[in-house]
Amino acid sequence: MTSWQTKAERPLTRDSLDAVFDNEVPVVRIKAFCTPDECRSFSAAIAKGRMQTYRLAPVGYIGMAQVEYRWGHQKSEYFEAAAQAWYDWHEVVDATWDPLARLIKVLSEACGVPVEVAEEPGFGRLFAGIIRRSSQGIGRHSDYAPFNAPDYRIGKIDAQLAWNLFLETPSSGGETTLYNRPWITEVRPGEEPPMSYGLGDDVIAGAESARYTAQRGDVILFNSRNPHEVSAGEGGERLQIGSFIGRQPTGSLVLWS
């Protein structure tokens, strides 16, 4: 049983970044990461982009998530898809401004360690910076590469955050609930990664929880190994861009989606 030192949201500093990686606090918020005009400009660029929809969930996206390729795919297939994802992503970002580049600059200045997009030896850069529209909520899940991507270099990280910049938010709902119960599962060599979505109540029984509200223009960082879920929103879209941040044993940080 673990408990947070405080549930209060912290601003981004070297100390708070360590604290959220170490699951001592639930949420770090970077207020006013971008201006309202930058939100509007980015939303307008997304509206012209190639947004796709998942077959089984009412979530729109531009770019891709590595976790979609964890079962039944060769690594080479992931990297072929990543090239297309970067293409679609650049069509949006090149028409406006680059939140990923800004996040890398803000993080590296705040924490004084190298921050870069994750690379896989022999294959190249992973995709980072998925754009998502998820106004109907997202079910309970955990994101942790040592379990989701054990055969990738990102599977060697020792802690994982998610960051998201909110470009549009619903007037009610669309809240994220985090449970202080870092996901633990067994990964057997040679077997496929375990299911990380649709985690049941047994997984979070007795765990303390924290909740954050998406505010337009803010970046939220949280420890994505903790089970988390997003409630449905009403009155507007929940539109965001983000990625994971993995902490390598050396202390340097790598990004992917």
End-to-end CA distance of the chain: 29
* Closest separation in Å from C-beta 131 to Fe ion: 15
Residue 160 CB-density burial (10 A; 0-12 exposed, 13-18 middle, 19+ buried): buried
Binding string, 24-43, against Fe ion, x = CB under 5 A?
--------------------
Which one of 31-39, 119-127, 141-149, 177-185 is the stretch in contact with Fe ion (CB under 5 A)? 141-149
Which residue in this structure is represented by tokens 């955990």? 142
Stretch that binds Fe ion, among 75-83, 128-136, 143-151, 232-240 (CB under 5 A): 143-151
Task: Say if residues 28 and 76 touch (Cβ distance below 8 Å).
Answer: no
What minimum distance in Å lies between the beta carbon of 167 and Fe ion?
A: 18
Taking the C-alpha atoms of residue 122 and residue 76, their distance in angstroms, rounded to an integer, is: 10
At closest approach, how far in Å is the CB of 248 from Fe ion?
A: 20
* Residue 143 found at the interface with Fe ion (CB under 5 A): yes
Separation in Å, CA 241 to CA 43, 70, 100, 147:
10, 22, 9, 23
| Between 120 and 143, CB nearer to Fe ion | 143
Q: Select 143 or 218, whichever has its Cβ closest to Fe ion.
A: 143
CA dist., res. 231 & res. 96, Å (int): 29
Beta carbon of residue 203, minimum distance to Fe ion (angstroms, whole number): 14
Beta bridge partners of 242: 130, 164
Part of the chain binding Fe ion (CB under 5 A), chosen from 84-92, 107-115, 135-143, 147-155: 135-143
Closest separation between CB of residue 121 and Fe ion, Å? 26
Residue nearest to Fe ion (CB): 143
Residues 11 and 30 sit within 8 Å (Cβ to Cβ):
yes
Size of the site for Fe ion (CB under 5 A): 1
CB of 228 to Fe ion, least distance (A): 6
Would you say 218 and 63 are in contact if contact means Cβ atoms under 8 Å apart? no
Contacts with Fe ion by CB under 5 A lie at 143
